[in-house]
Chains A and B, each alone.
Chain A
Amino acid sequence: MRQIERLVMHAMENEAQFKEVSGENSAPAIIVSNLVKSFGPQRVLDGISFEVRRGETLAILGRSGTGKSVTLRILVGLEPPDEGNASVLGVDMNGASAREIDDARKQMGFLFQHAALYDSLTVAENVAFPLVHHRRDLNAQQRTDRVHELLAEVGLEGHGKKMPSDISGGMQKRVGLARALALDPVVLLLDEPTAGLDPISSAEIDQLVMKLQKEYNLASIVVTHDMVSARTIATRIALMDEGKIVIEGSYEELQQSKERIVMEFLQRDLEQV
């Protein structure tokens, strides 16, 4: 494991030098240490730890119900952990004040599993929502321009006037992405971005995420059970089972693992391909 980490860090350093990004990069944007979370008798998270830096994409893989989404919810402060710490950009997402947490959230984008678009607002209004609440320096015209830009980024120009219920699931996810990117985030958290989509839409979303990842130099976490998607977009993959991270490393490293669960996941991936 240590070897793997060393390798990854080495790769990160190279990447950081290559991209000439700020000194913030030296510290991990996301630090998760020893998270424990139970719902009733069920221990969903049983001491998981990882770190993600800018420019990195960590894919958390696992079977449904293994606490992948809960990890993301803890990271964004929607759920308190029973034990352990989750800090994003140096802010403890469960111990800090509401103001500090909100400041951290402004630098985070979150794509929900079902996009969670506000169904009383149009697509454009959905994308504008974070801008309306946090970019009071923008006037109406500037805001409209920025919304157009974001919609163009996710390939949805001209769909701004539609209501979320009138567009397809893949389009909803893209709108969700546009909304998550509205405030130029540093951290992007994606909860099952390809779940429930056809393979073509999934591939499109994957391409989009990769493009955005490069463009915004994000520290991202993608929760998924789709190995293809994970392999495409992630720099590292963490495989979770029974509340623990079984293995963490690149796709190639996973391929060398002899763990049964890892092999099962890879098996399925090969079948799909």
Chain B
Amino acid sequence: MSTNPTAVSAVHSKPNLLLGMLEWFGEFGIFVWQVLCAAIKPPFEFKEFVRQLDEVGSRSLPLVMLAGAATGTVLALETRQSLVQFGAKSLLPTTIVYSVITEMGPIITALVVSGRVGAGIGAELAAMKVTEQIDAIATSAVDPRRLLASTRIAACIIAMPLLTLAASFSGVFMGWVASTLMEPITLVRFINQGFQGAGFKDFLPSTFKTCVFGLIIGCVASFQGMRARGGAQGVGSSATTSVVLSSLFVILADVVLVKIILLIWS
């Protein structure tokens, strides 16, 4: 009895890719709208939000910083090679700082978070869905979209720029470490040179554009989780789909956002 009969009918219906995609977007749009409507009405689920912010933010911090550090190191090693070829070795700090704070930090963070948190939310909510916990919340007269989805989405939106800052920080720092190991340069001089010509328009928009990434990751993962069907397999496919789709949408959104930022600030 626990398996939902709709899952059976979904299998029976002829899979039409285009129609399926349109349906997905339609359902997704309705879901996001409902979550938005639910989220703005009090009471706010502050406790759950804090729990999720901790889950998405603090617990992702080590992983994100590690990814940022690796990016900074690789960037230093790789760009140094090409800069030396062009005799522009002195541009190394600028190159590292600029690439890390404008693009590498945000996108690496977004991909790491969509992997870790997207899978986490997708699987957690899917498991709750298939074990009827989400139904139990609804029958307790609590809107699961507000309690579960909106808090997770909000946590993603808040945590993303903060994690990006941490990733950029460790990226720049490890960029310096890698540079100074190849050719000694003091941290102060590295920072001074690196931020030469970097303005707020390079730093703030690219950091806070990750709020949009957070929104995407949170919405896609919550949606995929809450529409899960079936048992363990449904949970697994829900987690996989939310990671794949949120990573894809994050990258696509980045293209649009970069274009918008360039339009507004230059």
Contact = CB atoms under 8 A, between A and B. Distances in A.
Interface of A: 39-40, 42, 44, 64-65, 68-70, 73, 76-78, 98, 102-103, 105-106, 108, 110, 112-114, 116-119, 129-130, 133-134, 136, 179, 192
Given A39-B5, A40-B12, A106 B141 contact: yes
Given A39-B8, A42-B5, A133 B140 contact: yes
Which interface class (under 10, 10 to 19, 20 to 34, 35 or more) fits B? Answer: 20 to 34
A64 B132 contact: no
6 contacts: A40-B13, A68-B1, A78-B138, A116-B131, A119-B131, A192-B1
B227 to A, nearest CB: 14
Nearest to B7: A39
A112 B140 contact: no
Contacts of B128: 118-119
A105 B141 contact: yes
A98 B139 CA distance: 12
Given A44-B5, A192-B1, A114 B131 contact: yes
A108 B139 CA distance: 8
B136 A110 contact: yes
A192 B139 CA distance: 17
A42 B132 CA distance: 22
B8 A114 contact: no
Contact of A78 (B8, B13, B135): B135
Contacts of B142: 129, 133
Central interface residue in B133, B138, B139, by most chain A CB within 10 Å: B139
Given A39-B8, A40-B12, A106-B141, A114 B136 contact: no
Nearest to A136: B43
Nearest to A44: B5
A74 B13 CA distance: 24
Contacts of B131: 114, 116, 119
Interface in B72-130: 127-128
B2 interface: yes
Interface of B: 1-2, 5-6, 8-9, 12-13, 43, 127-128, 131-133, 135-143
A32 B6 CA distance: 23
A117 B138 CA distance: 13
B97 to A, nearest CB: 41
B5 A133 contact: no
A114 B2 contact: yes
Contacts of A133: 140-142
Nearest to A189: B139
A69 B1 contact: yes
A207 B206 CA distance: 63
A65 B2 CA distance: 10
Given A40-B9, A64-B1, 5 more contacts: A76-B139, A105-B140, A114-B131, A116-B131, A117-B136
Contact of B133 (A39, A119, A136): A119
Nearest to B9: A40
A102 B12 CA distance: 34
A70 B139 CA distance: 14
A138 B141 CA distance: 18
Contact of A116 (B6, B13, B133, B141): B133
Contacts of A114: 2, 131-132
Contacts of A136: 43
Contacts of A76: 138-139
A112 B136 contact: yes
Given A113-B132, A114-B131, A40 B139 contact: no
Contacts of A73: 135
